[in-house]
Amino acid sequence: MMITLPDYALDYMDNLIQTGRSKLTLKQYESDLKKFFSWLAVYKENTRFETVKALRAEDIRAYFQYLKEKQLSQATIRRLASVLSRLMIYHQCVCAHEIHKLAEASPLRSLTTKDFITLEEFNKLSRQLLTKDLEVTKKSARNYLLTRNWTIVALLRTFGLTPFDIHSIMMKDLNLAQGELMLTRDKAPLTLQLPHDIMAKLRDYYFSIPESFRPKYYSNDPVFVAFNNISYSFQFDYDRQKPKALSVRAIQEMIKDEVRRTGLRKISAVNFRNAAILEELAAGTSDEKVMEQFHLTSEAALRRYKQYLQAESKG
């Protein structure tokens, strides 16, 4: 997602220029702040000053959880926290004092078996995702979303995507005829060849959406559309004149609900991603390709998986 800094952030950048910061430092600050505002535009659906002023500890915690899901090193997260903290202090935001404390919480640790979803667990979850509710209750709205939800979980596990990745996929990124999905990345885009079963379910989901709400081919419409559990209908954003994108939080809640239904231990999208990364490394994929495919930004993040594999082989 391309984003420009809002005016109040540009005001802060101007202040940095006046204090004599180098061009290199300013460029790094701008890049770091854009990461935050790209996330905020999705999490709060706007980047207005009033929204930033109203942020609380739980919001900042959600941001750092997002960064950790992207497998950033603790050093990188500390740097992002420092830049964000200074912006918040400059504008006297109440959450400024929480930022460093939350950034330091839960540093990268050694991986254990609990960090990965097993094949048995995934197979159980896959079957549950396609099992209809027999009772007509408020929650039976999920019966309309079986193929959508199955596809999302399959993409998370197969390619190690994050909920943010899923939320951000647009119709122009998806080629239904060729079965290809292109992920927009900072450098070169990454093209994924979708397996037949994922493509079949994805098409089923797509054509289950009423035509008036259906995302348009080759457009900026979201592939995964939000659903109203009360009216049993897909949602449309009339201000933007396009279907409303399924939110990151809704994806996380869907996974939590389906895991609970299946009777599994606590499992999240991070467990799917970890399993996908480990699988690639175990298959002998090069470090460079793994880092590119999973958008890892540091060798420290990759090292944890390699250490786990080594420990497993010795065990």
Shared-domain flag, residues 123 and 97: no
Calpha distance 152→180 (Å, rounded): 15
Decide if 2 is inside a domain. Answer: no
Of the three residues 104, 139, 155, the one that is the final residue of a domain is 104
pTM to 2 decimals?
Answer: 0.73
CB atoms within 10 A of CB 281: 16
SS (H, E, C) 249-301: HHHHHHHHHHHHHHCCCCCCHHHHHHHHHHHHHHCCCCHHHHHHHCCCCCHHH
Our count of domains for the chain comes to 2
Shared-domain flag, residues 151 and 205: yes
Task: Provide the CATH number for the domain around residue 19.
Answer: 1.10.150
Shared-domain flag, residues 28 and 127: no
Per-residue pLDDT of the chain (315 residues; tens, 9 = 90+): 557 899 999 999 998 888 888 888 889 999 999 999 999 998 888 999 999 999 988 888 889 888 887 777 777 888 898 899 989 988 888 788 778 777 666 556 788 999 999 999 999 999 999 999 876 555 578 999 999 999 999 999 999 998 888 988 999 999 999 999 998 766 678 899 999 999 999 999 999 999 999 999 999 999 999 999 888 899 999 988 999 999 888 999 999 999 999 999 999 999 999 999 999 999 999 999 998 898 876 677 788 899 999 988 876
β-pairing, 174-175 with 227-228? unpaired
Decide if 1 is inside a domain. Answer: no
Shared-domain flag, residues 52 and 132: no
Write out the residue range of the structural domain in which residue 290 sits.
Answer: 114-306
